[in-house]
Chains A and B, each alone.
Chain A
């Protein structure tokens, strides 16, 4: 068995991998030079150059990724070891990059979406003062994200993990003139620090157990973990993932992160960075597979997050807030997939979600761009005739989110729901049914809120007053939108299940990464088809309900203040207020206590004072010894010699 495992992969050296990380980094560096350069170029010329450099860098990263992906066969791992980063007896870390099937598909997806969004941004951010700064951060983000995906060990991954975190902070607070944006960035980075504690704890336990950070060693030495320790490590990494991937209880930063520019929300806070937590858990799949307890926790957390975020999204009026809660909800689905052990479906949904959510954000950004940054969907309506292309793109990606066949969201979401339903749970027998039911309700809510949003934006009559100033959409914005819309239509087809005659290609492709996990098979194909029909019906009923509710009675629904339970939803379950009142108050109270009269004055202050006093007295006493008489100094010398002699004689 061991022999089989060690020979399972073919390691092939490849020198191109690092350029996926380096290309955006070089782009960022060149743009930094441009940012500080003092030359005769005008601002618009500089902007053009920086946009071309940034887009070229992202495009190159995509081309290399695609090249690697194209040459990826099952059981192949492309490896590149650059140098030994840390070399200290036992603690040895190599700066090495690996591309296996999982990371190859991830990096292709990420660089592609990033390239589209880079191009889109060059139109969206036009006329912004921080144009070049924006592209520096965006390229830096792509570089960190590539490092996160491609690293061959956990420590290197942690660098990427922190790198994307800091880029996220920089881009959320991009318009730093407004203190609110800065606060949102601080909130994001603070909550991510809380998660990093978990990640670091996991790192430490892993290293102290197997003395290595490598993923391959982790798979080979998995038997060194005792079951309890394994659950602990799993929960530590999951703790880290809850912050990065915005799960309960650390999700509150993501809605506020929408303070950044919309393409940033699309790239970082919908498609790529927030999925890093899911990627981490999938990367460590064998650890989670071996610990049903941790998996249970993840599945329950995931489905609860999905459900709660979806309920909040049904009543929000801010376009980007709806999409933010939708992202949280979809990330909950991915966590659910990881929790039930259906890792391939998790990655499948990650990719299809990346496409349609990025597309939704870009379309929303287009609407905002055309309506002078208006975000409130109550002040829109009837935009179908004004922006037909945007409406079409919005509709396609919205249907994908709603899980309507044959759009991508249908297949990926259904794969997760089927996984949740069919994987038996060894600890709680009724859990699969409960997870499936919750997932189905969430799917209904998803269809409802996205339909509500589309209807309120594009249907009916215009309720705002910004339409007079509209201008047309530049091609750099429309083309990426269309490409991503096509993606959100067809990406789902890579995972059409066998039950309805598909090939389920992604499951096959990723199997070489999950080779340690026994392949899950059922012969309940007819049941799967029935479930697919049910979810189609659920999705359709969500759309129809939204139609009845908002097309029939639009005015009364919008102008009434929400009451009762809806008011609770409108205030997002008062979670922010709750955190503020409990953790925030407690922390500031403790901090105040410490600084006012607690430890600061009574203990630390006195300690410091007394130490100073002690040395003052000591030196006063010491002064008396310094008589200046050589005679006395000689006396001390002889005292010392006497001590030496006495000790010497006593020892012999």
Chain B
């Protein structure tokens, strides 16, 4: 019962925060809502027996990425004129209709196949120990590729933000 209450309150906060992200005219407000959303999602991951991922979520997303975004927003020091409500209600309704009718409804119907959890007795599932084991033993090659991608992205970001391209 407690689990149900926790899930629905977390879900409610997640939907609310994501709504704030896309409707606020000031990106700072959106960014702060985003931080709350990430923390919220981390809690959900915890509920889903994935404490390791929850930790990474908090560290990388809420701690790293969002700080970067907020710093960028502040760096540009946007003028008041650019903070106008930059979308029309008509667009929003149309997008809502397409998304609800085209994506949410059909996929939501398909999802009823996953109505209950199977019985799993593995208590170590999702722990940091197991994740590390799988990552370094079995998936070491994609892991190395990933590090390479990160380096490339860093170099690319530096080149993009140079004053003279």
Binding site for B on A (CB under 8 A): 635, 638-639, 641-643, 645-646, 648-649, 652
Given known pairs A635-B98, A638-B98, A642-B98, the reply for A652 and B110 (CB within 8 Å) is: yes
| Contact B110 A649, beta carbon cutoff 8 Å | yes
Give B65-104 interface residues, CB cut-off 8 Å to A. Answer: 95, 98-99, 101-103
Q: Which of A639, A648, A649 contacts B98 (CB 8 A)?
A: A639
**In this assembly, does B106 line the interface, its C-beta being within 8 Å of a C-beta of chain A?**
yes
| Contact A648 B103, beta carbon cutoff 8 Å | no
Instruction: Enumerate 22 A-B pairs (CB-CB under 8 Å) in ascending A order.
Output: A635-B95, A635-B98, A638-B99, A638-B102, A638-B103, A639-B98, A639-B102, A641-B103, A642-B98, A642-B101, A642-B102, A642-B103, A643-B102, A645-B102, A645-B103, A645-B106, A645-B107, A648-B106, A648-B110, A649-B106, A649-B107, A649-B109
Q: What residues on B are CB-neighbors of A645 within 8 Å?
A: 102-103, 106-107
20 further A-B contacts with Cβ under 8 Å, apart from A638-B102, A649-B106, are: A635-B95, A635-B98, A638-B103, A639-B98, A639-B102, A641-B103, A642-B98, A642-B102, A642-B106, A643-B102, A645-B102, A645-B103, A645-B107, A646-B102, A646-B106, A648-B106, A648-B110, A649-B109, A649-B110, A652-B110
| Contact A641 B102, beta carbon cutoff 8 Å | yes
Q: What residues on A are CB-neighbors of B98 within 8 Å?
A: 635, 638-639, 642
Give B105-136 interface residues, CB cut-off 8 Å to A. Answer: 106-107, 109-110
Q: What residues on A are CB-neighbors of B106 within 8 Å?
A: 642, 645-646, 648-649
Nearest Cβ distance between residue A641 and chain B, in whole angstroms?
Answer: 7
Q: How far is the CA of A645 from the CA of B102 in the complex (A)?
A: 7
Nearest Cβ distance between residue B132 and chain A, in whole angstroms?
Answer: 36
Binding site for A on B (CB under 8 A): 95, 98-99, 101-103, 106-107, 109-110
Q: What residues on A are CB-neighbors of B101 within 8 Å?
A: 642
Interface centre among A639, A646, A652 (most CB of B within 10 A): A646
Nearest Cβ distance between residue B115 and chain A, in whole angstroms?
Answer: 16
Q: Which residue of B lies closest to A640 (CB)?
A: B102
Q: What residues on A are CB-neighbors of B110 within 8 Å?
A: 648-649, 652
Q: How far is the CA of A649 from the CA of B102 in the complex (A)?
A: 11
Q: What residues on B are CB-neighbors of A641 within 8 Å?
A: 102-103
Q: How far is the CA of A642 from the CA of B103 in the complex (A)?
A: 6
Q: What residues on A are CB-neighbors of B99 within 8 Å?
A: 638
Q: Which residue of A lies closest to B109 (CB)?
A: A649
Q: How far is the CA of A649 from the CA of B99 in the complex (A)?
A: 15
Nearest Cβ distance between residue B147 and chain A, in whole angstroms?
Answer: 30
Q: What residues on B are CB-neighbors of A638 within 8 Å?
A: 98-99, 102-103
Q: Which residue of A lies closest to B107 (CB)?
A: A645
Q: How far is the CA of A646 from the CA of B104 in the complex (A)?
A: 10
Q: How far is the CA of A648 from the CA of B109 in the complex (A)?
A: 11
The 8 closest A-B pairs by CB, nearest first: A642-B102, A649-B106, A645-B106, A646-B106, A649-B109, A649-B110, A642-B103, A645-B107
Interface centre among A641, A645, A648, A649 (most CB of B within 10 A): A645
Nearest Cβ distance between residue A651 and chain B, in whole angstroms?
Answer: 11
Q: What residues on B are CB-neighbors of A649 within 8 Å?
A: 106-107, 109-110
Q: How far is the CA of A642 from the CA of B95 in the complex (A)?
A: 12
Q: What residues on A are CB-neighbors of B103 within 8 Å?
A: 638, 641-642, 645
Nearest Cβ distance between residue A487 and chain B, in whole angstroms?
Answer: 91
Nearest Cβ distance between residue B101 and chain A, in whole angstroms?
Answer: 7
Q: How far is the CA of A643 from the CA of B102 in the complex (A)?
A: 7
Nearest Cβ distance between residue A625 and chain B, in whole angstroms?
Answer: 15
Interface centre among A642, A643, A652 (most CB of B within 10 A): A642
Q: Which residue of A lies closest to B100 (CB)?
A: A642
Q: How far is the CA of A646 from the CA of B100 in the complex (A)?
A: 12
Interface centre among B106, B107, B109 (most CB of A within 10 A): B106
Q: How far is the CA of A652 from the CA of B107 in the complex (A)?
A: 12
Q: What residues on A are CB-neighbors of B102 within 8 Å?
A: 638-639, 641-643, 645-646
Q: How far is the CA of A638 from the CA of B103 in the complex (A)?
A: 8
Nearest Cβ distance between residue B94 and chain A, in whole angstroms?
Answer: 9
Q: Which residue of A lies closest to B101 (CB)?
A: A642
Q: How far is the CA of A446 from the CA of B107 in the complex (A)?
A: 95
Q: How far is the CA of A643 from the CA of B99 in the complex (A)?
A: 11
Nearest Cβ distance between residue A341 and chain B, in whole angstroms?
Answer: 78
Q: What residues on B are CB-neighbors of A652 within 8 Å?
A: 110
Q: What residues on B are CB-neighbors of A643 within 8 Å?
A: 102
Q: Which residue of B lies closest to A648 (CB)?
A: B106
Q: How far is the CA of A641 from the CA of B95 in the complex (A)?
A: 14
Nearest Cβ distance between residue A648 and chain B, in whole angstroms?
Answer: 7
Q: What residues on B are CB-neighbors of A648 within 8 Å?
A: 106, 110
Q: How far is the CA of A645 from the CA of B110 in the complex (A)?
A: 10
Nearest Cβ distance between residue A520 and chain B, in whole angstroms?
Answer: 84
Q: How far is the CA of A635 from the CA of B106 in the complex (A)?
A: 18
Q: Which residue of B lies closest to A649 (CB)?
A: B106
Q: How far is the CA of A649 from the CA of B110 in the complex (A)?
A: 7
Q: What residues on A are CB-neighbors of B109 within 8 Å?
A: 649
Interface centre among B95, B102, B103, B107 (most CB of A within 10 A): B102
Q: What residues on B are CB-neighbors of A635 within 8 Å?
A: 95, 98
Q: How far is the CA of A635 from the CA of B107 in the complex (A)?
A: 18
Q: How far is the CA of A643 from the CA of B105 in the complex (A)?
A: 12
Nearest Cβ distance between residue A143 and chain B, in whole angstroms?
Answer: 71
Q: How far is the CA of A356 from the CA of B95 in the complex (A)?
A: 95
Nearest Cβ distance between residue A631 and chain B, in whole angstroms?
Answer: 9
Nearest Cβ distance between residue B24 and chain A, in whole angstroms?
Answer: 19
Q: How far is the CA of A643 from the CA of B95 in the complex (A)?
A: 15
Q: How far is the CA of A635 from the CA of B103 in the complex (A)?
A: 12
Nearest Cβ distance between residue A48 and chain B, in whole angstroms?
Answer: 83
Nearest Cβ distance between residue A246 and chain B, in whole angstroms?
Answer: 75
Nearest Cβ distance between residue B9 and chain A, in whole angstroms?
Answer: 30
Nearest Cβ distance between residue B99 and chain A, in whole angstroms?
Answer: 7
